[in-house]
Every structure is written in structure tokens, then in C-alpha cells.
């Protein structure tokens, strides 16, 4: 069981200053689903269906242990994030995070390591909200230089960098990460930052005291750099069918999924069927052949029928002529 707290409004506001850059949020279910996952649900007003705004009250409940929230990195109005979180849960995850932490320190960037269920999260805080695209260029290049594996780009295991997107389109939320200092509902445990006492106040004071990364520094560190090729978001290229007359009858999966990246052979996207089951958080279970986008496959094993059904486009038995 986990410790309960009763934090003050000041403590909640210290948390908001560090972590909250966009007020939409999600809340973790209290009980696991039959498949063992404990999903997060975006918090919406039950009447208007509009996203509810994260406020001091919800943050206090999170810190006290009554609810567990997750946070979106990017504010779509500015395309900026207050922090970068590096999530690692593979074999050797902690070692990779320590390596990154040490290397960041050489740049004068103090990063804080938080425990997680299977590894850790390494957090870097901006002195001001930083462009998501620049944060990603910095961390991806740093990781590749160190030989730390980065998930995606052909690798199934590796670190995941939040913000997960360079920028958000209208109405998009991007990926959310479990907010620190709360209770993980899967294990009913709190996971703390290593360098401070195990209570919200001491933890936030420690995080407040870290040297923050400025935009000017970030610009210097990333000068002349780009996101490594394999991890660049795909340039959306409309598919032109060879036979336009078949367009209305033939199913094209690219019309239904949002691709997250592209490599020489495939587009990659979140598998709709996995998504319906609360899986494929990294959004790359589904591959769609670039050469022939009629061919697609879920690497977690969903069938074509399941994928089509999840899209509300069930495969129709061919009508008898
Ligand atoms: Zn799937």
C-alpha cells in the first residue's frame, strides 16, 4: 500500500509550475482491465464533452494519492513543453538513463531520475517552455551519440522521448505520461525521484532547485542538428490509386489511420484494434507498405478483420453478382 498525504495548495502550485503546460489531462482507472493494463481516460465535462481543465484541486488529489493523472507534454498553442521526459523500461534501462544523465550534466543540464515500474523516467526541465521539436532533436541526437537505443525507427525496445511529437495539429493532444509523485494504479505504489526524501514537498523542493535548461542553451546544443532520419515524421504523401474507378469501392487504410513515421519500406501507425484495447501506446504496431498501401499488418497480431472492424469498416463478404 502507498502513503497518503494531505498537501497544501502551495505544494500543488509548485507541481503545476514545474509540470503543467496544458490544462487538458487524463486520469488513470482505479482497477486494471482483464488484460492487466490500467488505462487512462481523458477527463471531459460530462455535459459538454469538452476537455476538463486541470486545476489545483485535481493536482492535490493526485499528490495525496486519491487519483492518478497523466500529463500532455505539448501546449498546441505554442508547440512548446515545460519538460522533457525520457521513459525507459527495457533491460538495462536504468543504466541507459544514468548514462544520459551524466552526459546531460556535461552540457550543464541537470536531469532528475524518477523510478518507474520497470525502469525509470529521466526529467529535464525548461527555464521557460521549450519548442518540442528542438527538445526532441537534442535528446535523440544525444542518445544516438551514446549508443542508447531509441524506440521506433526499426527498434522495438529503447527509450521513448516525451514530447513524442514535434508539433500538434488542431484538436490533437499528443502522448501523455503518468504525472510524477502520484500512485501507479497497477502496482498501488508511488515511484519517487532518487535524490530527495519520500514526500511531495521534499521532492518538489529538490526539483525546484535543479538548474533549468534555457532556450538559448538548447539552440546552441542543437545547432545544425536534425532529428535522425529514421525518426523523422513522415511527409504525408497522398496515395494515388492506379485505377481511379476502383477508388470508391477499395478500402485504403491510409485514409483511416494517422501515420506516426515512415521508413524506406513502411508507414507506421497505431493499430486501431490494439488502440481499442488500450494497447500500442507507442503508436507503431501497424505497418503499411509504402509500395502498396493496400498491404498492412499489425505486429502485435491483430487480424485484418479485427483492424477493419475497429475502424468501423468491417470487411464485407463480396456481394453475389
Ligand atoms: Zn493490433
The pLDDT tens digits for 203-257 are 999 999 999 999 999 999 999 999 988 888 766 665 555 555 555 567 889 888 8
**DSSP 8-state assignment for residue 245:** G
109-113, 139-143, 214-218, 312-316: which has the minimum mean pLDDT?
A: 312-316
What pLDDT is stored for residue 241 in this prediction? 55
Give residue 301 CA to ligand 1 midpoint distance, Å.
Answer: 6
Per residue in 78-102, pLDDT (tens digit) is 999 999 999 999 988 999 999 999 9
pLDDT at 303 over 60: yes
In angstroms, the CA 45 to CA 57 distance is 16
Backbone angles phi, psi at 80, to 5 degrees: -120, 160
Return the residue matching grid coordinates 469501392. Answer: 249
Rg of the chain (C-alpha set): 21
Tell me what the mean pLDDT of segment 183-199 comes to: 94
Give residue 86 CA to ligand 1 midpoint distance, Å.
Answer: 25
Give residue 95 CA to ligand 1 midpoint distance, Å.
Answer: 31
In angstroms, the CA 229 to CA 219 distance is 20
Give residue 297 CA to ligand 1 midpoint distance, Å.
Answer: 8
At 261, which helix (H) or strand (E)?
strand 259-262
Give residue 300 CA to ligand 1 midpoint distance, Å.
Answer: 5
What pLDDT is stored for residue 250 in this prediction? 79
Give residue 273 CA to ligand 1 midpoint distance, Å.
Answer: 5
- 63 Cβ contact partners less than 8 Å away, ≥ 6 residues apart: 5, 7, 11, 12, 15, 181, 182, 200
Domains and CATH numbers, the chain: 9-222 (3.90.920.10), 234-310 (no CATH)
What pLDDT is stored for residue 243 in this prediction? 59
What pLDDT is stored for residue 248 in this prediction? 57
Q: Could you tell me the three cell numbers for 208?
A: 525546484
Give residue 233 CA to ligand 1 midpoint distance, Å.
Answer: 21
pLDDT at 307 over 60: yes
Give residue 278 CA to ligand 1 midpoint distance, Å.
Answer: 10
Q: What is the DSSP string of 285-300?
A: SEEEESS-TT-EEETT
What pLDDT is stored for residue 231 in this prediction? 86
What pLDDT is stored for residue 239 in this prediction? 59
The length of the chain, given as a count of residues = 321
Q: Where are the alpha helices (DSSP H) in the chain?
A: 9-19, 56-64, 93-106, 132-146, 200-208, 215-222, 272-276, 304-310
Give residue 16 CA to ligand 1 midpoint distance, Å.
Answer: 35
Per residue in 2-48, pLDDT (tens digit) is 899 999 999 999 999 999 999 989 999 888 888 888 888 888 888 88
Give residue 90 CA to ligand 1 midpoint distance, Å.
Answer: 21
**What average pLDDT does the structure give for the chain?**
90
Most confident of 33-42, 191-200, 252-261, 276-285: 191-200
Give residue 275 CA to ligand 1 midpoint distance, Å.
Answer: 7
What pLDDT is stored for residue 321 in this prediction? 46
Give residue 206 CA to ligand 1 midpoint distance, Å.
Answer: 41
Give residue 267 CA to ligand 1 midpoint distance, Å.
Answer: 15
Give residue 210 CA to ligand 1 midpoint distance, Å.
Answer: 41
Backbone angles phi, psi at 97, to 5 degrees: -70, -40
What pLDDT is stored for residue 13 in this prediction? 97
Give residue 302 CA to ligand 1 midpoint distance, Å.
Answer: 4
- Are the C-beta atoms of residues 199 and 13 closer than 8 Å to each other? no
- Are the C-beta atoms of residues 268 and 281 closer than 8 Å to each other? no
Q: Name the band, by pLDDT with cuts 50, 70 and 90, for residue 298.
A: very high
Give residue 291 CA to ligand 1 midpoint distance, Å.
Answer: 21
Return the residue matching grid coordinates 530527495. Answer: 196
Per residue in 130-174, pLDDT (tens digit) is 999 999 999 999 999 999 999 987 788 999 999 999 999 878 889
Give residue 13 CA to ligand 1 midpoint distance, Å.
Answer: 40
pTM of the model: 0.74
What pLDDT is stored for residue 318 in this prediction? 61
Give residue 281 CA to ligand 1 midpoint distance, Å.
Answer: 11
What pLDDT is stored for residue 68 in this prediction? 96
pLDDT at 317 over 70: no
What pLDDT is stored for residue 139 in this prediction? 97
Give residue 311 CA to ligand 1 midpoint distance, Å.
Answer: 12
- Are the C-beta atoms of residues 255 and 226 closer than 8 Å to each other? no
- Are the C-beta atoms of residues 82 and 129 closer than 8 Å to each other? yes
What pLDDT is stored for residue 155 in this prediction? 81
**Number of alpha carbons in the 13 Å side-chain half-sphere of residue 237:** 14
Give residue 276 CA to ligand 1 midpoint distance, Å.
Answer: 9
Give residue 201 CA to ligand 1 midpoint distance, Å.
Answer: 41
Backbone angles phi, psi at 82, to 5 degrees: -80, -15
Amino acid at each position: 500500500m502507498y502513503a497518503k498525504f494531505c498537501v497544501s495548495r502551495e505544494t500543488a502550485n509548485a507541481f503545476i509550475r514545474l509540470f503543467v503546460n496544458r490544462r487538458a489531462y487524463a486520469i488513470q482507472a482505479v482497477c486494471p482491465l482483464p488484460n492487466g493494463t490500467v488505462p487512462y481516460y481523458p477527463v471531459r465535462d460530462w455535459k459538454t464533452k469538452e476537455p476538463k481543465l486541470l486545476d489545483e484541486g485535481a493536482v492535490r488529489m493526485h499528490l495525496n494519492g486519491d487519483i492518478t493523472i497523466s500529463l500532455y507534454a505539448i501546449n498546441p498553442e505554442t508547440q512548446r513543453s515545460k519538460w522533457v521526459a525520457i521513459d525507459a523500461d527495457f533491460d538495462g534501462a536504468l543504466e541507459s538513463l544514468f548514462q544520459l544523465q551524466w552526459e546531460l550534466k556535461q552540457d550543464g543540464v541537470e536531469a532528475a531520475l524518477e523510478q518507474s515500474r520497470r525502469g525509470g523516467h529521466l526529467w529535464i526541465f525548461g527555464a521557460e517552455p521549450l519548442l518540442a521539436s528542438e527538445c526532441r532533436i537534442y535528446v535523440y541526437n544525444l542518445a544516438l551519440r551514446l549508443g542508447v537505443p531509441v524506440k521506433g525507427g526499426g527498434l522495438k525496445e529503447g527509450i521513448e522521448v516525451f514530447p513524442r511529437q514535434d508539433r500538434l495539429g488542431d484538436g490533437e493532444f499528443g502522448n501523455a505520461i503518468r504525472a510524477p509523485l502520484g500512485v501507479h494504479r497497477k502496482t498501488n505504489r508511488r515511484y519517487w525521484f532518487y535524490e530527495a526524501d519520500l514526500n511531495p514537498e521534499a521532492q518538489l523542493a529538490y526539483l525546484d532547485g535543479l538548474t533549468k535548461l534555457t532556450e538559448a542553451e538548447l539552440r546552441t546544443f542543437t545547432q545544425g542538428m536534425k532529428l535522425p532520419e529514421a525518426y523523422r515524421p513522415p511527409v504525408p504523401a497522398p496515395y494515388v490509386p492506379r485505377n481511379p474507378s476502383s477508388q470508391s469501392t477499395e478500402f485504403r487504410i491510409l485514409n483511416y489511420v494517422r501515420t506516426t513515421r515512415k521508413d524506406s519500406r513502411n508507414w507506421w501507425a497505431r493499430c486501431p484494434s490494439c488502440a481499442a484495447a488500450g494497447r500500442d501506446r507507442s503508436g507503431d504496431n501497424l505497418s503499411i507498405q509504402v509500395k502498396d498501401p493496400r498491404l498492412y499488418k499489425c505486429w502485435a497480431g491483430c487480424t485484418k478483420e479485427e483492424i477493419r472492424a475497429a475502424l468501423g469498416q468491417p470487411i464485407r463478404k463480396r456481394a453475389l453478382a
